[in-house]
Structure 1
Amino acid sequence: MNSLDEIAGRRMVKPRTAADHVADRLREAIVKGLIEAGTALRQDDLATKFGISRMPIRDALRLLEAEGFVSIHPTRGTFVSLIDTGEIREIFILRQLLECAALRDAFPHLTAKVLDDADHILDLIEESTDFSQWGMLNLEFHMILYRPCKNKRLLGVIEAQNNAAERYIRFLSTIRDFRGRSGAEHRDIIAACREGNETLAIERLTCHLQIGCLTLTDAVENRP
């Protein structure tokens, strides 16, 4: 391998910008409920609080808009998106279409190492007591299975849809035994992959996402 091959083979890492950091902080606050739905987010106020110019604030809000965390109106400004079960259903319909396609394309490339890595993430999920960390690990579990499809655009859209759903995930923490049931569904998907049964793996992933959607919409509709 020559030097150019070696450079090209390295995993590309997107540099973190001020906008990325602001978006991370605001996203976390929205997910945890520290900033309530409908709250106005004013660029001048945020720039003052973060001690930076308005430009990265504007870019951060655009990132959050793309993920569904905020709504930007041309005259009224930016507001934290309202909790919407219709949006949840739309997200999970897209997730089902996209993630089943990704798993189908990735299936021939799911090595024992990939499946072992996925199992390791499930072990970490079971050990974690931090629900916000659970959400991150849950996404990583799914992405480990999909990355071998090598379709960067598809993977990017899948991750964006998961990020859009993240603000609703906190409601699942109120559901007894949800994590245990979800973990069992994840193990069943891995088992089908180890058996080399693509059809069964797709069926189990589909069922997992459908149950997740129903559980989440019910939690939102019946929240205190």
Structure 2
Amino acid sequence: MTPLLKHRTLSAAILDQLRKAILDGTYPAGAQLRQDALAATFKVSRIPIREALFQLDAEGLVRIVPQKGAIVSELSLDEINDVFGLRRLLEPRLLARSIPALAEADFTRLDEMNRQMVAATAAQDLSRWGQLNADFHMALYGRAGQPRSLTIVQSLLQSSDRYTRVQLSDTAGTGIVGMQRAVDEHAELVTLSRAGEIAKACAFLEEHIGTVHDDLLRALERGAREDAP
């Protein structure tokens, strides 16, 4: 392995671990991510740490603040609306282009992902569920032939994963219901896509994303009421 490739592989591994730690709440909103402390933790120089933090800043998971460094981003209502609004615009367009090119092997893979999501739902494993959810959506659009749009959507899915975990962790008991409903809706998306029902599949997808968005806003509203004095 060349030094450059090794460096890139190391940076990517650190990025993945930091992203996971933010998504699962190990580093909560407002936490400061100090480069020197992270470098000591990962036993690396500050260079790959800095690169990972800049990428997390681009993904919206951290903010680079002068004199303070990297701060884990707060949950922002404006960003939530922006992320889910963009998803409702871009994902149906990708699905419409992907459906005609999806092969039976693709549908078999999608079915298997959904079965794994059933198991993650039963175990209430939010981390596993969130990754499978993102993978499912990306696989559904994988034949669209629009790599730039796919890259944007992948970033949006990473951002929405963090917000979705808030919804699924809702103390009102709606989290498990949301997980089960998403699995059922994914199965319907596969059925419509397999049947070549492009218009119906795209409309259903937009509704699916909108439902998650609405549930999240209600969960945040409940949380705000519970936190109020």
Q: TM-score normalized by structure 2?
A: 0.86
Q: Which amino acid aligns with 1:33?
A: G
Which among 126, 134, 141 is matched to residue 136 of structure 2? Answer: 141
Q: Provide the rounded CA distance (Å) in 1 between the counterparts of 2:187 and 2:90.
A: 20
Q: Provide the rounded CA distance (Å) in 2 between the counterparts of 1:221 and 1:75.
A: 33
Q: Which amino acid aligns with 1:78?
A: A
Residue 72 of structure 2 is aligned to residue 105 of structure 1: no
Aligned residues of 1:85 and 1:221 also touching (Cα < 8 A): no
Report which stretch shifted further, 102-111 or 165-174. Answer: 165-174
Please report how far the alpha carbon of residue 188 of structure 1 lies from its aligned counterpart in structure 2 after TM superposition: 1.5
Which among 67, 72, 87 is matched to residue 95 of structure 1? Answer: 87
Residue 160 of structure 2 is aligned to residue 168 of structure 1: no
Paired residues, what number? 211
Residue 18 of structure 2 is aligned to residue 26 of structure 1: yes
Q: Cα–Cα, structure 1 residues 15 and 116, in superposed 2: closer, same or farther, change >3 Å?
A: farther
Residue 222 of structure 2 is aligned to residue 222 of structure 1: yes
Which residue does 2:203 correspond to in 1? Answer: 203
Aligned residues of 1:71 and 1:81 also touching (Cα < 8 A): yes
Which residue does 1:84 correspond to in 2? Answer: 76
Aligned residues of 1:65 and 1:72 also touching (Cα < 8 A): yes
Please report how far the alpha carbon of residue 16 of structure 1 lies from its aligned counterpart in structure 2 after TM superposition: 5.5
1:146-197 CA-partner distances (Å, limit 9, x unpaired): 0111221111111111112222232213324111111111112112112221
Aligned residues of 1:169 and 1:216 also touching (Cα < 8 A): yes
Unaligned runs of 5+ in 2: 1-5
The 3-state SS of whatever aligns with 2:52 is: helix
Q: TM-score normalized by structure 1?
A: 0.87
Unaligned runs of 5+ in 1: 1-13
Aligned residues of 2:117 and 2:129 also touching (Cα < 8 A): yes
The 3-state SS of whatever aligns with 1:52 is: coil
1:48-83 CA-partner distances (Å, limit 9, x unpaired): 222211111110001111111100123432110001
The 3-state SS of whatever aligns with 1:170 is: helix
Q: Which amino acid aligns with 1:150?
A: G
Q: Provide the rounded CA distance (Å) in 2 between the counterparts of 1:16 and 1:210.
A: 37
Report which stretch shifted further, 42-51 or 132-141. Answer: 42-51
Please report how far the alpha carbon of residue 20 of structure 1 lies from its aligned counterpart in structure 2 after TM superposition: 1.7
Which residue does 2:3 correspond to in 1? Answer: none
Report which stretch shifted further, 112-121 or 138-147. Answer: 112-121
1:105-157 CA-partner distances (Å, limit 9, x unpaired): 11211222222221111111102222211111111111111011122111111
CA RMSD of aligned residues (A): 1.8
